[in-house]
Amino acid sequence: MKRLLLWLPLGAFVVFFGILALGLYAPDDRTHPSKLIGKPMPTFNLPPAASGRPGLTSADLRGQPRLVNVFASWCVPCATEAPVLGMIAQQGVIVDGIAIRDRPQDLAGFLTRHGNPFRAIGDDPASQVQIALGSSGVPETFVVDGAGMIRYQHIGPIGPGDVDTILAKLGAAR
Amino acid sequence: MIAEAGLAALWLAAALALLQFALACLGLNDERTQLRHGVRAVAVVQGLFVALAFALLVICFLRSDMSVQLVVTNSHSAKPWLYKLAGTWGNHEGSMLLWVTILGAAGGLVALLERRVVERTLTATLGAQALISFGFYAFLLFASNPFARAFPVPEDGQGLNPLLQDPGLAFHPPTLYIGYVGMSVAFSFAVGALVTRDVGRDFARAMRPWVLGAWIFLTLGITAGSYWAYYELGWGGWWFWDPVENASLMPWLAATALLHSVTVLATRDGLRAWTIMLAVVAFSMSMIGTFLVRSGILTSVHAFAVDPERGSFILALLALYIGGALALFAIRISTVKEGTQFDLVSREGALVANNLLLSAILGIVFVGTLYPLFAEAVSGDKLSVGPPYFNATAGPLTLALVIVMALGPVSRWRRDELRAVVGRVAIPVLLSAAALLAMVVFAPRIHILSFLGIVLAVGVGAASLAPLWGRNLRRTPMITYGMVLAHFGVAVSLAGMATESAFIKETLVASQMGETHTVGPYKITLKSIEPVAGPNWTALEAELVAQRGDNTPFTLRPQSRMFSNPPTETNEAAIATRLDGQLYLVLGKPDGQGRWQLRLWWKPMVTLIWLGGALIALGGLLSLIGRSLRERGQSLRKAYG
């Protein structure tokens, strides 16, 4: 019994050490997933943000599964993401955009430089819809199914390596 | 060239540490006296080389040598020289080099000065110290080279976090590090004593000054850190239970327990296993503190090295040292004879109670600091443990601890009568009762912890002076004065904490020019807000006139500072110190309609918190000086009969 007691500190340390190692090797996840996954899109009605594209209302998000991309012209990762979204759109996927705290002339410049994969772009100058969606940063992308339900959330830019996952989630939302 | 020389010195120091470890292992086996002398010599030279490496890095920073990557990222040629100097350790690589420098220097000092323990134990101790140093050298050389070159050489550096541009903070890390690393010596002594099965009074006497010295620096570091957070962050608080604050509090708690148990071992030859255990725990806490802060595992403003690779390196070192020491403890401690026995009611008994309470507080802080990490690892939930948990759990234990603190010094060694002990603190108990009565009459509605804190502070303050009663004050040893002063400091700090929490006044207003607001006994008028410029910042400065009753009004100028490189805003609170407290004013943001946010605090007796901290450290210093004088006297008497 007493001998066992002597090994107790070492045992306690091993447990503590395991926790530290877990904490260290767990992926550093500082993202905040939306609580709306599996729930319907919140109701909103955004005016057009760019000429040549309609605005976006929650009623539009019916019929076909699609991507809703939260972005902004002032967001550097969004610029790297834009061509990838273009590739996805070329495969027949509908991509709708919500421009966060943007100015029309900046947004127009962004779409000219980096391409315009969007069917519609809603203007969200005060981030209200973004907050309602449970999105905490740009860019973020939601997979919405034909019934207007949010099925998947991608936090951060979509890189070429993420395309397959996104397409699979869209396929599953059909 | 300087950077290369520094790197070379670091490699040499690492090689010497390995040599020192090898010589120590060989020197243990036989009666190889020569080898043991060799270990001492190598330890001194190793200390010199690592100090040289650090000095060369300091020169790189002072000369703003932008061909060194570390200088580029953490300094700027326009900085005042003091912050160039502080830039040396205000970053990951430099602070690790400082850490290992103190480690090496401490090993060298042990080799030079230590005469009390048997030579075999000292050799084992220096071997353990060399192994610790070697691990950290390897870490620097393979994962965190502070002398790495920048290519291409940029025109100027990228500056240093302006929050860290403060004289208080420039010397905060070195102070804490000396404390942390001083614990490494206690740890090495414990390992050495376990290796040679020599856990006795000589060992305790050899270890004690190191524990005491490290503890003084930890106390100073924590006190200074608390005051820095208080006046620099502009949040008006003095302890936030931030993981980084806890990282320095935990080794302090362990060191305080160790300091008391090593005294029992040195004086009465008791608490052998417990002292060894605490020495291991104290250094473990120092390393865990460093690890938590440096790995970025706990997110905090202080965690400036978010890097899993470095984290795993330190984690491996941690496993090796702490795990190794604990295994050695489990294997060896049963072969160490039990020390002298004692009664429950005795000085030893009080010190055991002190140790248990300190360990319990340590456990609480440890769990509270690590629990969020644990919860996230197990369930993926993100949560935080805040002041409510810590105050509710550590608060009552701290109050129990100060009661024990009042009783311990008036108890006799080995055995005593409870009634006699209580009789010796009759006057403090009466004073506490008077304070209790006064509080019930004048301030019955304050929080129970603050209430008890004030009542106990009065009693403990008086009781801590009790060892001086009826003594010839001129013949009282300096060690006794040290203990009295340190314990009195605890009472002073406690009084400050409790009074401030109980009677703090806060006023938050959006103020127009010329408006007057009340906070505590003061009337504060906003006169103007003007832009001002400093050496590397610009600021908006408010002119606030404060008046207490009919006294002469005086002006305070809080600032909201903007640093351009990198762009950062800081708040410079304006603080007026009076005998009964501090007025603490912070300038906030404009609301766009001509009004400015102002945060006004009146904090009664708040300065006692840090005054107490300083008294505790000063008490430690008196003990340290008193002991070395006494030992010198004893060895002189021995030599000349």
Average pLDDT on A43-64 reads 88
Q: Does B344 touch chain A (CB under 8 A)?
A: no
If contacts are CB pairs under 8 Å, which of residues 277-306 in chain B contact chain A? 277, 280, 284, 291, 295, 297, 306
Residue B107's closest CA among B185, B54, B224, B30? B185
Q: How far apart are CA B583 and CA B605, in angstroms?
A: 11
- Give the residue carrying structure tokens 């040396």: B88
DSSP β-ladder status, A56-57 and B537-548: unpaired
- Taking CB atoms and an 8 Å limit, are B319 and A23 in contact across chains? no
Residue B562 predicted with pLDDT over 90: no
For residue B475, what are its two tokens? Answer: 């013949």
B7 to chain A, minimum CA–CA distance in Å?
A: 29
Please tell me which of the candidates B277, B376, B377 has its beta carbon nearest to residue A9. B277
Q: How far apart are CA B230 and CA B590, in angstroms?
A: 23
Q: Does A10 touch chain B (CB under 8 A)?
A: yes
B291 to chain A, minimum CA–CA distance in Å?
A: 10
| Exposed/middle/buried for residue B475 (C-beta within 10 Å: 0-12, 13-18, 19+) | exposed
Model-level ipTM above the cut of 0.85: no
Query: Among all residues of chain A, which has the CA nearest to that of B334?
Result: A3
Between B415 and B556, where is the model more confident? B556
In this structure, what DSSP letter does residue B320 have? I
- What are the tens digits of pLDDT across the range B424-433? 888 899 999 9
| Exposed/middle/buried for residue B118 (C-beta within 10 Å: 0-12, 13-18, 19+) | middle
How far apart are the two ends of chain B, measured CA to CA in Å? 56
Mean model confidence pLDDT for chain A: 85
Q: How far apart are CA B572 and CA B539, in angstroms?
A: 10
- What are the tens digits of pLDDT across the range B450-473? 999 999 999 999 999 988 887 888
Q: Choosing among B288, B326, B329, B367, which should be mutated to test the A contact, i.e. which has the most A CBs within 10 A?
A: B326
Contact B22, B62 (CB under 8 A): no
Q: How far apart are CA B325 and CA B335, in angstroms?
A: 16
Contact A41, A61 (CB under 8 A): yes
Q: Which residues contact B322 (CB under 8 A, 6 or more apart)?
A: A13, B280, B284, B287
**Residues of chain B neighbouring A16 (CB-CB closer than 8 A):** 370
**Residues of chain B neighbouring A6 (CB-CB closer than 8 A):** 329-330, 333-334
Q: Which residues make beta-bridge pairs with B560?
A: B540, B571
Q: Does A9 touch chain B (CB under 8 A)?
A: yes
Contact B99, B51 (CB under 8 A): no
Q: Does A4 touch chain B (CB under 8 A)?
A: no
- What are the tens digits of pLDDT across the range A141-174? 999 988 888 888 888 888 888 888 888 888 887 7
Please tell me which of the candidates B291, B330, B377 has its beta carbon nearest to residue A7. B330
- What are the tens digits of pLDDT across the range A127-145? 888 888 888 778 889 999 8
Mutual orientation of helices B201-232 and B272-295 as an angle, nearest 10°?
A: 30
pLDDT classification of B138: cutoffs 50, 70, 90: very high
- What are the tens digits of pLDDT across the range B61-83? 999 888 898 888 888 887 888 88
- What are the tens digits of pLDDT across the range B149-164? 888 888 777 765 666 6
Spell out the alpha helix ranges (H) of chain A: 2-25, 76-90, 104-114, 128-133, 163-172
**Residues of chain B neighbouring A21 (CB-CB closer than 8 A):** 315
Predicted pLDDT of residue A101? 85
3-state helix, strand, coil in chain B (%, to 5): 65, 10, 25
- Taking CB atoms and an 8 Å limit, are B377 and A16 in contact across chains? no
Please tell me which of the candidates A6, A9, A25 has its beta carbon nearest to residue B334. A6
For residue B438, what are its two tokens? Answer: 């006064």
**Proportion of chain B above pLDDT 90, given as a percent:** 50
Residue B345 predicted with pLDDT over 90: no
- Taking CB atoms and an 8 Å limit, are A17 and B370 in contact across chains? no
Predicted pLDDT of residue B305? 40
Q: Does A17 touch chain B (CB under 8 A)?
A: yes
Residue A88 predicted with pLDDT over 80: yes
Contact B61, B55 (CB under 8 A): no
- Taking CB atoms and an 8 Å limit, are B377 and A26 in contact across chains? yes
pLDDT classification of B566: cutoffs 50, 70, 90: low
- What are the tens digits of pLDDT across the range B433-445? 999 999 889 888 8
Transcribe B437-461 into DSSP letters: HHHHHH-TTS-HHHHHHHHHHHHHH
How far apart are the two ends of chain A, measured CA to CA in Å? 63
Between B371 and B329, where is the model more confident? B329
pLDDT classification of B302: cutoffs 50, 70, 90: very low
Which of A135-139, B219-223, B462-466, B572-576 bottoms out in mean pLDDT, i.e. has the lowest? A135-139
For residue A43, what are its two tokens? Answer: 């109701």
pLDDT classification of B628: cutoffs 50, 70, 90: confident
Residue B418 DSSP SS3: helix
A&B contacts, CB < 8 Å: 54
Please tell me which of the candidates B312, B323, B373 has its beta carbon nearest to residue A10. B323
- Give the residue carrying structure tokens 């340390």: A13
Predicted pLDDT of residue B623? 94
CA angle B69, B75, B77 (to 5 degrees): 110
- Taking CB atoms and an 8 Å limit, are A19 and B327 in contact across chains? no
pLDDT classification of B304: cutoffs 50, 70, 90: very low
- Taking CB atoms and an 8 Å limit, are A17 and B312 in contact across chains? no
- Taking CB atoms and an 8 Å limit, are A16 and B327 in contact across chains? no
- What are the tens digits of pLDDT across the range B374-405? 776 666 666 677 788 898 999 999 999 999 99
Average pLDDT on A82-107 reads 90
Average pLDDT on A86-112 reads 90
A34 to chain B, minimum CA–CA distance in Å?
A: 14
Q: How far apart are CA A35 and CA A135, in angstroms?
A: 9
Q: Which residues contact B477 (CB under 8 A, 6 or more apart)?
A: B626, B630
Please state, in angstroms and as integers, the Cα–Cα distance from residue B188 to each residue in B251, B256, B334, following that order: 16, 18, 19
For residue B497, what are its two tokens? Answer: 């904490």
Q: Does B318 touch chain A (CB under 8 A)?
A: yes
- The reply to whether omega before A139 is within 30° of 0 (cis) is yes
Please tell me which of the candidates B308, B323, B330 has its beta carbon nearest to residue A24. B308
Contact A32, A133 (CB under 8 A): no
**Proportion of chain B above pLDDT 70, given as a percent:** 93
pLDDT classification of B214: cutoffs 50, 70, 90: very high
Query: Among all residues of chain A, which has the CA nearest to that of B327?
Result: A10
Average pLDDT on B7-13 reads 96
For residue B333, what are its two tokens? Answer: 């401690």
Q: Which residues make beta-bridge pairs with A67?
A: A95, A143
Q: How far apart are CA B139 and CA A40, in angstroms?
A: 52
Average pLDDT on B303-312 reads 59
Q: How far apart are CA B121 and CA B125, in angstroms?
A: 6
- Taking CB atoms and an 8 Å limit, are B319 and A26 in contact across chains? no
Q: Does B323 touch chain A (CB under 8 A)?
A: yes
**Residues of chain B neighbouring A14 (CB-CB closer than 8 A):** 323
- Taking CB atoms and an 8 Å limit, are A2 and B334 in contact across chains? yes
